[in-house]
């Protein structure tokens, strides 16, 4: 599928919306030209239809052999690779992102799908535990207890604006939910609906190729406040995944938890990813730290969830040199196109508000920007003034960084203690900084989902050991990650079987262990039959 219809994908078919009067188009942010194809929002009836199809599909999709679901995920990845040119071409038009970035992101997306396929083939994601019976135990016999993981049910996934592929239609939330055995309904992002439709077409092709139920995937258009809210509130939906703003994510989280039957809602919201620059590190490696900082600050026009939005340093000669070099390098940066005009407007509004704070000074800005382009902004404030104004911690989405200058080590620790939850925190330190870096790490490990030494948070590695989450407001569930193998845990729940006949047990719990998975049996890891 390379042409666009503007339709909704429901139960294996492209359906014209019953609300044609609500059709919308997309503007190319690079030149403000309107792109062809109108996209219509889903009606309440179409939402019901998608959820009903997903509920029906769950009955059979949830019990498919893991190998079958793995084949499905691999088929999606292959279909996306075959359609890479039209996907990237449309993505460039809708987002203003460069081709190299989108091709890299497409590779990350297909890599995630194959990572979950491999996880399904391994089988250890179910974390099987078996405690065998002991009828002779006194004073009471010990029952046979066996624990596995089962899928929750249909999941709604909200596509993100800043990653039109990796956190969108077939992104990490969708891949992990499908791997878990949950049908997915994607609420496409209005900033890149054409890109979403092309990717949805790849998922539909994989459904037809592998024979999984047609209701396993759906894609709908519509505003978050209406279509999104209706999906989260729908009794057929059993979980939600979201990446976006604090206000939008919190509103949906409140709907999810306020239902008569509350459901888990995994939202990735706001993060400024504080970075601590210690004196000896700056003295020894100041030039490389500056170069890497400006690169991380401006990467993707600052529209990554892990760009460094706060720097913390003590006032000293090494810090003065860092400020001088960083200011000079920032001033040389050319403007970059932001994803949408509204995101660009919010970026400028946020900077203007911060600049209006009397205690904040502007250290440097990039070259003049116009249209939907953004230039980086580096500002500074004293620790004392920062600690007196909690609003200065709020994220400005885009290439904007606030430097907090401290008089003492004690002030640095006070600043660290003042932070709310963030996705990442970084510490640049040499061995001679160990006492201070240890103290900061002890505070920051309570504030972040990923603690980084001598590096910045940008470049989230997709691997088994990754944690991409953190305390609120970086995410709504501090115990989860949206990147890496453990993302599958969000969409499953534990189910315990007690004294169950072997014939009625799922494959991974049977005595013979026909899948050959590694199991914790009576406190010992084993792949052997019982």
Q: How far apart are CA 174 and CA 158, in angstroms?
A: 9
Radius of gyration of the chain (CA): 25
Residue 466 structure tokens: 């990754």
9, 204 contact by CB (below 8 A): yes
Residue 127 structure tokens: 């974390």
Cα atoms found within 13 Å of the Cα of residue 139, Cβ hemisphere only: 0
Alpha-carbon distances, residue 279 vs 17, 101, 315, 402, 441 (angstroms): 60, 35, 9, 18, 16
**Which residues pair with residue 183 across a beta bridge?**
none
Q: Which one from 182, 202, 305, 344 is the annotated catalytic residue?
A: 305
The DSSP code for 509 is G
Tell me, yes or no, if 344 is annotated catalytic: no
The DSSP code for 11 is T
Map tokens 């890497």 to a residue: 292
Map tokens 């089962």 to a residue: 150
312, 415 contact by CB (below 8 A): yes
Q: How far apart are CA 482 and CA 468, in angstroms?
A: 6
433, 459 contact by CB (below 8 A): no
Break the chain down into helix, strand, coil percent, rounded to 5: 45, 20, 35
Tell me, yes or no, if 268 is annotated catalytic: yes
Q: Which one from 105, 197, 268, 411 is the annotated catalytic residue?
A: 268
189, 196 contact by CB (below 8 A): yes
- Torsion sign across C-alpha atoms 521, 524, 528, 530: negative
Residue 432 structure tokens: 């001679």
**Nearest-CA neighbor of 177 among 245, 108, 121, 242?**
242
Q: Residue 267: CB partners within 8 Å, gap ≥ 6?
A: 240, 241, 242, 243, 244, 249, 250, 252, 253, 475, 476, 477
Q: How far apart are CA 273 and CA 239, in angstroms?
A: 27
Annotated catalytic residues are 268, 305
């Amino acid at each position: 599928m390379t042409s666009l219809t503007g339709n909704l994908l429901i139960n294996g078919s492209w359906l014209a919306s019953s609300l044609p009067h609500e059709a919308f188009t997309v503007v190319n942010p690079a030149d403000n030209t309107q792109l062809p194809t109108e996209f219509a929002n889903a009606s309440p009836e179409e939402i019901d239809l998608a959820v009903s199809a997903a509920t029906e599909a769950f009955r059979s999709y949830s019990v498919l052999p893991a190998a079958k679901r793995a084949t499905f995920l691999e088929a999606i990845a292959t279909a996306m690779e075959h359609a890479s040119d039209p996907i990237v071409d449309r993505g460039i038009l809708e987002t203003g992102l460069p081709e190299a970035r989108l091709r890299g992101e497409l590779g990350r997306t297909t890599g995630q799908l194959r990572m979950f396929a491999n996880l399904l083939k391994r089988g250890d994601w179910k974390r099987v535990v078996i405690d065998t019976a002991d009828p002779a135990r006194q004073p009471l016999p010990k029952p046979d207890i066996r624990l596995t993981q089962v899928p929750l049910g249909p999941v709604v996934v909200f596509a993100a604006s800043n990653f039109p592929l990796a956190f969108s239609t077939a992104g990490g939330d969708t891949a992990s939910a499908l791997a878990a055995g949950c049908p997915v309904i994607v609420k496409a992002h209005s900033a890149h609906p054409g890109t979403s439709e092309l990717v949805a077409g790849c998922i539909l092709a994989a459904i037809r190729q592998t024979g999984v139920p047609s209701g396993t995937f759906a894609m709908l258009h519509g505003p978050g406040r209406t279509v999104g809210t209706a999906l989260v509130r729908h009794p057929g939906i059993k979980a939600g995944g979201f990446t976006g703003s604090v206000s939008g994510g919190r509103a949906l989280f409140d709907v999810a938890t306020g239902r008569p039957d509350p459901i888990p809602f995994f939202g990735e919201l706001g993060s400024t990813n504080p970075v601590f620059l210690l004196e000896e590190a700056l003295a020894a490696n100041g030039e490389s730290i500056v170069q890497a900082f400006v690169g991380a600050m401006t990467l993707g026009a600052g529209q990554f969830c892990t760009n460094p939005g706060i720097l913390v340093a003590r006032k000293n000669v090494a810090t003065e040199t860092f400020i001088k070099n960083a200011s000079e390098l920032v001033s040389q940066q050319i403007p970059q196109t932001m994803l949408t005009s509204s995101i660009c407007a919010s970026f400028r509004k946020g900077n203007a508000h911060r600049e209006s704070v009397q205690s904040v000074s502007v250290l440097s800005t990039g070259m003049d920007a116009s249209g939907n382009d953004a230039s980086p902004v580096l500002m500074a404030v004293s620790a004392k003034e920062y600690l007196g104004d909690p609003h200065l911690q709020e994220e400005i989405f885009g290439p904007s960084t606030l430097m907090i200058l401290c008089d003492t080590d004690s002030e640095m620790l006070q600043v660290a203690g003042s932070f709310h939850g963030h996705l990442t925190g970084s510490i640049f330190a040499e061995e001679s900084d160990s006492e201070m870096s240890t103290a900061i790490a002890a505070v920051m490990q309570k504030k972040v989902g990923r603690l980084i030494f001598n590096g910045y948070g940008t470049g989230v590695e997709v691997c088994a050991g990754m944690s991409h989450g953190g305390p609120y407001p970086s995410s709504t569930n501090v115990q989860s990650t949206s990147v890496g193998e453990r993302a599958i845990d969000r969409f499953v729940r534990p189910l315990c079987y007690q004294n169950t006949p072997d014939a009625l047990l799922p494959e991974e719990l049977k005595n013979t262990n026909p899948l050959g998975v590694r199991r914790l049996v009576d406190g010992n890891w084993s792949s052997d039959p019982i």
